[in-house]
A and B are shown apart, each in its own frame.
Chain A
Amino acid sequence: MMRAQPRLSPGRRLAIPLAVILVLGAIGVAAIARGPGVVELHARVAEAGGFSPASIEVVAGQPMRLRLVSDDMTHGFAIGKMDQPNLAIVPGQPVETELRFDQPGRYVYYCTQFCGPGHWRMRGVIDVLPAKGAAVRGSEPPPAYVGLGLDIDAPHPAAALPSRKPSARRGAALAGSIPAGIAAQAGSGRKSPEDIWRALRDNAVFGGLSDDDVWDGVAWLWLSAGSQNGLPRAATLYASNCAACHGASGNGDGVMAAFLASGANLSADPGAPIMRGQTTVSPTRFTDPAVMLGASPALLEGKIIRGGMGTGMPYWGPIFSDADGRLLVNYLWRFQFNDQE
């Protein structure tokens, strides 16, 4: 049995055009506010959510427009391994940027403005999908520490230590006497300063030199191996990304060091959920010869790329380019070796 359709009242007849206007208006306002195809990315301190969304998909070759909005304090935005300039995200001042990724793969965006204990957790992922018919992404070649099979978590203390800070300037006097084979080993990235010191110490050419004089030769080898041109950039990278924990002087005394020194912790409430294990450790002191002189450049690079397993050290592999990673490693040696006197 059919029911007769009630006649629409004049008010209800008005509802249809009003609804159309309302919908179009909403679309218009949103389009003005965001623009077509704009992804609005909100930034909050990590304890309040970090980046939201934390994951974005885009097809290779297609432009993507991001509108960056801070919900609490000034943050920064950059994409790892890309030469795009950092953007400041200031509350009340949204900023837009257009990105296009030509290569499929996984890109990580991160906060570049130190914003608190969880700063390093402020990251998100852009998965760039291959265009239709294009090849899918392959795996990247592993870094040196993986290829060498280094256990970067194993203790690596140096047993032989200098009694003064080794000087590359003093060591330059030995440059012409250092055998090419040892110099090549020093430049390979696989040997620690202590390894090379022992190789020089055992060489008859240096039999008449003191241990500290030989260390000066090691300092010269180490600092001359790295590019001097990259020092300003390395110093900036260190100040922006490392000093908060490791300290500006490399002494492990950055502003975040106190937060990281907590050990195992159990709740005092017997009914509370139980958590066991070590949480974080104190930041490495780059000024400690026992730690640094037993480490090879490949090992230090691994520590930076993979981070500290459960120690609070972030993994920088998705952030730093290979060149920047090497610059940082070269920079760290300057906490051990002097090139000014």
Chain B
Amino acid sequence: MPIVPTLRALRDRVQVRGTRSRFLISAFLIGAIGLAACGGSARALEPAVSMAPMSDMPMQVQAAPVVVQQAYRFAAVNPELMKQIPCYCGCGAIGHTSNYACYVSGMLETTKLEFDAHALACGICVDITQDAMRLSGQGKSPGDIRAYVDLTYSKFGPSNMR
């Protein structure tokens, strides 16, 4: 929930000195968090997962829409998961064997990634990764995430994973 660190930062910035002020602000925060938690029948979800820093990304990614940036940054530091997630954009025909291959084409030296431009211009690739991010953030297992991806995207064509 992004609201918690945001409010904590707000509280930190207020430079509280007295007990009463701390009490009042804490009470306000509890109320606000409670309000956010009781949002009725629908629930807004935001990714809360590990991502590579933007400075590790090629300039094309840094200039891309935020969903694309997030997908590249997530893929870069979650290869174990991403190599278990298929892609359905048709990229099996160009040798991709997982959704990870849409972002990373190889390794330079031993630690530096060589990124692939493919996902910069692919809708399905990035949407699959966004789903993986969201479900991973909810604690879903790689198997559960793959099952969701298969169910959602298999209607678009064959998987690139056998």
Residues 49 to 70 of chain B near chain A (Cβ within 8 Å): 56-61, 63-68
* Complex contact B116–A276 (CB within 8 A): yes
Interface string of B94-120 (1 = CB under 8 A from A): 100000001001001000111111111
* Complex contact B155–A55 (CB within 8 A): no
With most chain B CB atoms within 10 A of its CB, the pick from A12, A30, A275 is A275
Closest Cβ of chain A: how far from B102's Cβ, in Å? 8
B154 contacts the other chain (Cβ, under 8 Å)? Answer: yes
Contacts of A22 in B (CB 8 A): 24, 27-28, 31
* Complex contact B113–A273 (CB within 8 A): yes
Assess A58 versus B113: contact at CB under 8 Å? Given A26-B35, A118-B65. no
B93 contacts the other chain (Cβ, under 8 Å)? Answer: yes
Interface string of B123-149 (1 = CB under 8 A from A): 111110011001000000000000000
Number of A-B contacts (CB under 8 A): 195
Size class of the contact patch on chain A: 35 or more
* Complex contact B65–A46 (CB within 8 A): yes
Contacts of A279 in B (CB 8 A): 60, 117, 120-121
Inter-chain CA distance A260–B108, complex, in Å, is 28
* Complex contact A50–B65 (CB within 8 A): yes
Closest Cβ of chain A: how far from B27's Cβ, in Å? 4
Main DSSP-derived SS at the B contact region: helix
Contacts of A123 in B (CB 8 A): 127
B5 contacts the other chain (Cβ, under 8 Å)? Answer: no
Inter-chain CA distance A314–B123, complex, in Å, is 6
* Complex contact A306–B156 (CB within 8 A): yes
* Complex contact B121–A64 (CB within 8 A): no
A86 contacts the other chain (Cβ, under 8 Å)? Answer: no
- Of B56, B122, B155, which one neighbours A310 at CB under 8 angstroms? B122
A164 contacts the other chain (Cβ, under 8 Å)? Answer: no
- Of B23, B93, B105, B117, which one neighbours A19 at CB under 8 angstroms? B23
* Complex contact B61–A275 (CB within 8 A): yes
Which of A136-144, A172-180, A204-212, A247-255 makes up part of the contact surface?
A136-144
Contacts of B43 in A (CB 8 A): 39, 56-58
* Complex contact B122–A277 (CB within 8 A): no
Residues 12 to 68 of chain B near chain A (Cβ within 8 Å): 19-20, 23-24, 27-28, 30-32, 35, 39-46, 56-61, 63-68
Closest Cβ of chain B: how far from A19's Cβ, in Å? 4
Closest Cβ of chain A: how far from B33's Cβ, in Å? 11
Assess A37 versus B120: contact at CB under 8 Å? Given A18-B24, A151-B93. no
Contacts of A106 in B (CB 8 A): 152
- Of A12, A15, A276, A315, which one neighbours B124 at CB under 8 angstroms? A315
- Of A52, A65, A276, which one neighbours B105 at CB under 8 angstroms? A276
A32 contacts the other chain (Cβ, under 8 Å)? Answer: no
Closest Cβ of chain A: how far from B126's Cβ, in Å? 8
- Of A53, A59, A65, A121, which one neighbours B68 at CB under 8 angstroms? A121
Closest Cβ of chain A: how far from B42's Cβ, in Å? 4
* Complex contact A50–B67 (CB within 8 A): yes
A36-B40, A275-B58, A309-B91 known; 14 other A-B pairs, CB under 8 Å? A11-B20, A22-B28, A23-B28, A38-B39, A39-B44, A50-B67, A64-B40, A118-B64, A143-B155, A264-B117, A273-B115, A275-B61, A306-B88, A310-B89
CB within 8 Å of B: which residues of A?
A: 11-12, 15, 18-20, 22-24, 26-27, 30, 36-39, 41, 46-50, 52-59, 62-65, 106, 118, 120-121, 123, 125, 137, 139-143, 145-146, 151-153, 260, 264-265, 267, 272-280, 305-312, 314-315, 317
Could you name 28 residue pairs across A and B whose Cβ atoms are closer than 8 Å?
A: A18-B24, A19-B24, A22-B27, A23-B28, A30-B35, A36-B40, A39-B44, A50-B66, A56-B44, A125-B130, A260-B121, A267-B58, A273-B115, A274-B108, A274-B114, A275-B61, A275-B114, A275-B116, A277-B118, A279-B120, A279-B121, A306-B124, A307-B89, A307-B123, A308-B121, A311-B122, A315-B124, A315-B156
Instruction: Report the 4 A-B pairs with minimum CB-CB distance, sorted nearest first.
Output: A37-B40, A23-B31, A46-B65, A19-B27
